[in-house]
Amino acid sequence: MSRAGADEVEASSAPLIEHLIELRTRLIWALAGFFLAFLVCFFFAKELFNLLVVPYQTAVVWAGISDRQVELIYTAPQEFFFTQVKIAAFGGFFLAFPIIAIQVYKFVAPGLYKTERAAFIPFLVATPLLFLLGAALVYFFFTPMVMWFFLSMEQSGTVPGQAAIQLLPRVSEYLSLIMGLIFAFGMVFQLPVVTSLLVRAGMVTTEGLIAKRKWAIVLAFIAAAILTPPDPMSQIGLAIPTILLYEVSIMTARMIERKRAAQLAESDASADSA
């Protein structure tokens, strides 16, 4: 290989090495933020689990058995420990999300135009806020409703010939239920963000979203059947917000397209006047 060819290869590899170094730096910061958040959440894991039990306590009140002490059990020696580890991992990721999001932005921002960076920031802010909104819906309404439904299946055993059947959830199963619901609703509430990004990229249009509305409704119920417990109440409870968010996505897409059309008309008018 000639000297000129070697210089060309070296010059082309330099930007790649710089990108890899930058990626490593951002990953280190993101992992460090997650690790610190994980340690904090693990230290308060029992308190966090008690907070997650509040929806169950609310369901007990709704079921009219508020005089009963809420009990959860674990049947393996290590079960509650690993439950706390899961709580710390889930809470740590959510607590460290601002740090992770900032590192992602710092990595991609140099390759974006100024207008693209300005458009990227609102989505960065909207993502955790919408996830929080979905999590709040699960925490304050949906989980109590689901647990109330399960509590309604209990049998007191006071009727002759009737066995006493009482709900005693395992800590790991209850955590899996509420974390699964929070994750499912949090992801579903990202629908307006994802749709807006696709509309800005020109991959989706308002007319296309409207035309596929019927398919979206069917997919909403299919996704709800996969992501939620098998009872109809849980599935309907996730499918309805998904359909409503799809309608919000259509309105958001229409606003983006109108704004883009106005900007194009303004730029055309400026070009004609020049």
Structure tokens at 174: 């209850």
Question: Over 50: is that where the pLDDT of 120 sits?
Answer: yes
pLDDT score for 194 = 87
For every residue of 35-97, DSSP letters joined together read HHHHHHHHHTHHHHHHHHHHHHHHHHHHTT-TTSPP--B-SSTTHHHHHHHHHHHHHHHHHHH
SS3 state at 192: helix
Between 27-41, 61-75, 117-131, 213-227, the lowest mean confidence (pLDDT) is in 117-131
Rounded to a whole number of angstroms, the distance between the first and last alpha carbons of the chain is: 52
pLDDT score for 29 = 94
Query: CA dist 100 to 21, 118, 182, 210, 252, Å?
Result: 17, 19, 20, 34, 26
Could you tell me which residues are beta bridge partners of residue 73? 170
Average pLDDT over residues 137-161: 86
Domain ranges of the chain: 14-129
Contacts of 48 (CB under 8 A, 6+ apart): 41, 87, 91
pLDDT score for 7 = 46
Distance CA 274, CA 243 (A): 47
CB 139 within 8 A of CB 53: no
- pTM comes to 0.80
pLDDT score for 56 = 93
Taking Cα atoms as reference points, which of 66, 52, 79 lies closest to residue 139? 52
pLDDT score for 271 = 65
Could you tell me which residues are beta bridge partners of residue 155? 165
Question: Over 80: is that where the pLDDT of 119 sits?
Answer: no
Instruction: Tell me how far the alpha carbon of residue 163 is from its chain's centroid.
Output: 41
Phi, psi of 264 (to 5 degrees): -65, -40
pLDDT score for 6 = 47
Q: Tell me the range of 193-207, 238-252, 257-271 where mean pLDDT is highest.
A: 238-252
SS3 state at 218: helix
* More confident site: 144 or 108: 144
Neighbour count for residue 113 (Cβ, 10 Å) = 8
pLDDT score for 11 = 45
Question: Over 80: is that where the pLDDT of 20 sits?
Answer: yes
Phi, psi of 64 (to 5 degrees): 80, 25
pLDDT digits (tens, 9 = 90+) for 153-212: 888 777 777 788 888 899 999 999 999 889 888 888 988 888 888 888 778 888 888 998
pLDDT digits (tens, 9 = 90+) for 66-80: 777 888 999 999 999
Contacts of 240 (CB under 8 A, 6+ apart): none
pLDDT score for 19 = 79
Helices (runs of H) and strands (runs of E) counted in the chain? 10, 0
Mean pLDDT of all residues belonging to the chain:
84
pLDDT score for 8 = 47
pLDDT score for 238 = 83
pLDDT score for 41 = 96
pLDDT > 70 fraction of the chain, expressed in percent and rounded: 91
pLDDT score for 81 = 95
* More confident site: 227 or 240: 240
pLDDT score for 274 = 59
pLDDT score for 272 = 63
Could you tell me which residues are beta bridge partners of residue 37? none
pLDDT digits (tens, 9 = 90+) for 29-55: 999 999 999 999 999 999 999 999 999
Average pLDDT over residues 232-251: 86
Distance CA 252, CA 142 (A): 26
